[in-house]
Amino acid sequence: MLDTLPSPISLLSKVKPAALRSISLVPFPVQRFVTGKVLNQLLDESIADGDLDLLENRVLALAFTETGQTWNFSLIDHKLQLVKPRQKADVCISGSFEAFLLISNHLEDPDTLFFQRELHIEGDTELGLTIKNCLHNVDTTALPTPIAKLLELAGNIAQRIYQGDR
């Protein structure tokens, strides 16, 4: 009887799209605040070094393939900010939620994910490659401990889902 129950990873991979879609129910100002706090803390060094200056007055779209949800970001006053889509993004990086978690947790090389067609870049390739490298060089130790632990846990789950899909 118990062997007919789905594994926790299988169950998570089935409820994940609905959970991700629920993020779109969060008011935009709250999404902007949270993503701004987390991403600017993660990318502080890259922003200070000018690595993301290419995003000034330009738009990066991060698209999640499971939900069709897209977040648009721009560098405004040396801060990465979630912006409402007003025009076509200069570059779009799309992939599964797991792919983004694997990169940010350094559990998978982004180039591997691109070659395996888990991630895609459309638009300004130079900008896309710069962003991809910045995502890969994220230092999660700069995050508050609870958020870093949550990200690590999510990355480990993503890795199990990703390995289960292969």
What does CATH list as the number for 2-165?
3.30.1050.10
Kindly report, residue by residue over 112-152, the tens digit of the pLDDT.
Answer: 888 888 889 999 988 888 887 777 777 777 778 888 888 88
pLDDT score for 13: 61
CA distance 50 to 33: 22
Query: pLDDT of 55-96, one tens digit each?
Result: 998 999 999 888 788 999 999 999 999 999 877 899 999 998
Strand partners, 133: none
Say what the pTM is: 0.81
Structural domain boundaries in the chain: 2-165
The closest of 36, 49, 51 to 129, measured between CA atoms, is: 51
Residue 38 has pLDDT above 60, yes or no: yes
What average pLDDT score do residues 148-159 get? Answer: 83
